[in-house]
Amino acid sequence: MGGKFRTESCDCLVAGGGTTGVIAAIQAGRAGADVILTEMNPLPGGTMTFGKVSSPAYFFAGGRRIVGGIGWELVKETVELSGGKLPDFRVPVPGHTGHAVYVDPNLYPLLAEEKCLRAGVRLRYQEILTALRPLGNGWEAEVTGNGVFRKIRAHEVIDCTGDATAVRLAGGPCVRGEERQPGTLEFQLSGYDCAALDADSLERAFRKALADGELQPGDYCDADRPLIRYLRSRGYNLQHIFPADASDSEKQTGASIAGRQRLLAMLRFLRRQPGLENCVIADAAPLTAVREGWRILGERTVTEDEYLQGVLYEDAIAWSSYFIDVHHETGVRRRHLAPGVFPTIPFGALIPRGMKHILAAGRSISSDRGAFSALRVGASCMAMGQAAGAAAALAVRTGIPSREVPLDSIRELLRAHGAAVPVPGIVTEPEYPEEPV
């Protein structure tokens, strides 16, 4: 059995090349670390590409920069190369503190990949991390692909799997609630003209389909609102799948099948309605994207109260600014930040409790459910990824575990790579001036 493994070494192994992992890998690579990035999909981007959740939030909010650095660089270049236009960040969005930025999910992974390659990152697609054991001052990982079995020795591991998989494989402390947010299969419908539809008769047909069981409440998660709103939004981000679990392939398969089956039911219903006979699926993601799963139990756990108060942690390494956004069976629980409140992300929330040479970033951040619902958004994941990449690179450079790297050096490196970094002692002044884009 042992003979089939190829063994290789690197400074830093990034597990999971999604929203967070590509940024972590690029940052570590640009800071001089020899990086391997293992991603089980055939291209990078994770939820942003395979889930088609393509509007990361927030890079600017409340008149100031929240997230900069590599994530912003990548998003900005994607918008430019796809011929898109960035929003005017100085203009407020009703009901929101900031703008999400749409990025083309077909182009984003191409640029992310190019930046990884230029940073010297060794890309290992379609390879799954299956084991992680301590080895000396670091780790030995097992990774399996089609016809490939690797043992990878790394000084530092950054868990960007979205479900704390690396930390769980290493036996680290993780939590997952009984109650979790739903998943969503992202799709876009087309082939109809909303202005030509009879909203009232559609509504009656929709209510009847719900009562008859042909449709289910999660097929339109805002089902207490008129169906015409669903049609105006082309169905995008309006389906809820319960349960949705990405922590193993069997459960992810179940969620993805359920997402497609519910879309089929909706499509069949819609095509029977006057004016919707030509309704078609213009676009659909390959998998049902999952909002919530396993999180690490970190040296620090961000709570909803701390988040809403905008606590400036002494070990803060990034800003965040999304609202509390917990999707559930019957809708969404939202709590907005008061004007002028800017939450921060502490480094301790990326450090699995009691563990060395390993960090977790993105959806696996140590936080309660409320804080998590805000911290999980794309731009915040990118900021965490960059911070983890910087800490890991400095750890390798100085020969100490990432958790012991002085915060000043992490912040200095992050700033040198364009990140927006909180400064303890300065609560109200923005780190960067508002940037008209």
Ligand X SMILES: Cc1cc2nc3c(=O)[nH]c(=O)nc-3n(C[C@H](O)[C@H](O)[C@H](O)COP(=O)(O)OP(=O)(O)OC[C@H]3O[C@@H](n4cnc5c(N)ncnc54)[C@H](O)[C@@H]3O)c2cc1C
Instruction: State the residues that interact with ligand X by CB under 6 A.
Output: 15-21, 38-41, 46-48, 51, 53, 55-57, 100, 128-129, 160-162, 165, 184, 237, 289-291, 362-363, 376-378, 381
Least distance between ligand X and beta carbon 53 (Å): 4
Which amino acid belongs to residue 384?
A: M
Shortest distance, CB of residue 264 to ligand X, whole angstroms?
Answer: 19
Closest CA to 296 of 127, 410, 170, 130: 170
Q: How far is the CB of 145 from ligand X (least distance, A)?
A: 10
DSSP alpha helix (H) spans, 246-331: 249-271, 304-309
Q: What angle do CA 83, 84, 85 make, to 5 degrees?
A: 130
Specify whether the CB–CB gap between 152 and 9 falls below 8 A: yes
Nearer Cβ to ligand X (56/389) = 56
Closest distance between ligand X and the C-beta of residue 284, in Å?
13
Strand partners, 360: 159
In sequence order, the 6+-apart residues with CB closer than 8 A to the CB of 349 are 298, 299, 300, 301, 302, 365, 366, 367
Give least dist CB 47 to ligand X, A. Answer: 4
| Shorter beta-carbon distance to ligand X: residue 100 or 349 | 100
Q: Which residues contact 83 (CB under 8 A, 6 or more apart)?
A: none
Quick count: other Cβ atoms within 10 Å of Cβ 123? 18
Gyration radius of the chain over CA positions: 22
User: Which residue's CB comes closest to ligand X?
Assistant: 18
Q: Residue with structure tokens 């940037």? A: 435
**CB closer to ligand X out of 22 and 202:** 22
Structure tokens at 89: 């960040």
Q: Count other C-beta atoms under 10 Å from residue 214's C-beta.
A: 16
C-alpha torsion angle, residues 100, 104, 108, 111 (rounded to 10): -120
- In terms of CB distance, is 100 or 355 closer to ligand X? 100
Considering the complex, state which of residue 51 and residue 105 has its C-beta at the smaller distance from ligand X.
51
Q: What angle do CA 164, 165, 170 make, to 5 degrees?
A: 100
Nearer to ligand X, 205 or 391 (CB): 391
CB of 419 to ligand X, least distance (A): 17
For residue 212, what are the contacts with CB-CB under 8 A and spacing of at least 6?
Answer: none
Q: How far is the CB of 362 from ligand X (least distance, A)?
A: 3
- Taking the least distance from each CB to ligand X, the nearer of 123 and 410 is 123
C-alpha–C-alpha distance, residues 7 and 232, integer Å: 53
- Choice between 152 and 377, CB closer to ligand X: 377
Look up tokens 């590599």; give the residue. Answer: 70
Choose between 112 and 413: whose C-beta lies nearer to ligand X. Answer: 112
Residue with tokens 């012991």: 404
Residue in the structure block whose two tokens are 């670390």: 33
CB of 211 to ligand X, least distance (A): 27
Min dist CB 151 to ligand X, Å, is: 15
